Amino acid sequence: MSGVTNSSSRQIDTVIFDLGGVLMSNGRQSDLVRRFPPDKAEAALRVFMGDYGADNDHPWHRLERGEIAFDEVRRLNRIGLAELGIELPEPPADAKPGAAPITFQPNEPMIDLVVRLRAAGLRTSILTNNVREFREHWRSVLDYDTLFDDIVDSHEVGLRKPNAAIYELALTRLNAEARRCAFLDDVASNVAAAEQLGIFGVVVDEDCAPAIEAVEILAGLA
C-alpha cells in the first residue's frame, strides 16, 4: 500500500496493537504447546490457559493480572498435565532454567505499519496480556519509546483482556475516542470485546497482510 495519507478518508486517529501474535510474529497461544504431540496439544493448552476468552481465576489469567508468579503456574501446569496423563516435553537443549517459553521475534510488516501510521500523525499504543517474568525478553527487541505513545501491560494494571475495563483504561491514557480507534489482536474474543465498546476491531491471522490492509484503509493510507 502507498504511504501517502488521504486525511479525508481517515476514520481513525489511534491504533492499539496487541503484542504476541501481532507486533511479534510469535507469542500466539499455539506457540506454548508446539512441543506437544498434535493429539495432546489442545488438552495441554486448556491446562495452561483455561478458557482464554474469559477472565476468571484460572492460574494463567491470574498470572496475566500479576496476582501470582510464573513459577507457581509452572507447578500447577505440571499437576494438571499429570492428571490427564500428559507428559511435559523436555525443554530445548539450549533453554535456560526458568526462561520464557518463547523467544519474541518482531513481525516486520506490522512494525513497518506502525512506522507509517506515526509518520501520518496517528497515535499508536500497545495493549497486551502479559507476564511479569516475560517483560525483559520482549522489551529488549524494539525501541518502544519511539514507536508507541503508551503501553498497557496487564500484569502492571491488574486487568486483562477481554475485561472491558482494560480497553477503557487504554483509551483514557491516550485521551482517545473509541469510535476513532482501531484495535488489532490475534485472539478473536479480545477483538469482539473491543468492538463492544465501539472500537474498530481487526483480527490478525498468521498471514497478517489482510489485517494491515484493513488498518491502512481505516487510517487513510490506502
What are the pLDDT digits (tens) for 185-207? 999 999 999 999 999 999 999 99
pLDDT for 205-214, tens place per residue? 999 999 999 9
Of 123 and 41, which is predicted with more confidence? Answer: 123
Question: What domains can be seen in the chain, in order of their start residue?
Answer: 7-27+103-218 (3.40.50.1000), 29-83 (no CATH)
Q: Is the pLDDT of residue 176 over 80?
A: yes
On whether the CB atoms of residues 178 and 13 are closer than 8 A, the answer is: no
**pLDDT, position 4:** 46
Q: Is the pLDDT of residue 5 over 60?
A: no
Sorted by sequence, the CB contacts under 8 Å of residue 58 that are 6+ apart come out as 49, 50, 51
Mean pLDDT (whole number) for 138-160: 97
What share of the chain in percent tops pLDDT 90? 79
Q: Is the pLDDT of residue 159 over 50?
A: yes
- AA letter at 101: P
Q: Is the pLDDT of residue 33 over 90?
A: no
DSSP at 115:
H
Q: Is the pLDDT of residue 178 over 90?
A: yes
pLDDT category of residue 1 using cuts at 50, 70 and 90: very low
Mean pLDDT (whole number) for 137-160: 96
Question: What average pLDDT does the chain have?
Answer: 91
On whether the CB atoms of residues 109 and 209 are closer than 8 A, the answer is: yes
Q: Return the C-alpha cell found at 28.
A: 500466539
DSSP code per residue over 160-213: -TT-HHHHHHHHHHHT--GGGEEEEESSHHHHHHHHHTTPEEEE--SS-HHHHH
Mean pLDDT (whole number) for 148-160: 98
* Among candidate residues 68, 76, 41, 77, the one with its CA nearest the CA of residue 160: 68
Mean pLDDT (whole number) for 104-114: 97
Of 120 and 26, which is predicted with more confidence? Answer: 120
**pLDDT, position 2:** 38
pLDDT for 50-102, tens place per residue? 999 999 999 999 999 999 999 999 999 999 999 999 988 776 655 565 556 67
Q: Other C-beta atoms within 10 Å of 142: how many? A: 18
The interaxial angle of helices 70-83 and 38-49, nearest 10 deg, is: 130
**pLDDT, position 23:** 98
**pLDDT, position 121:** 97
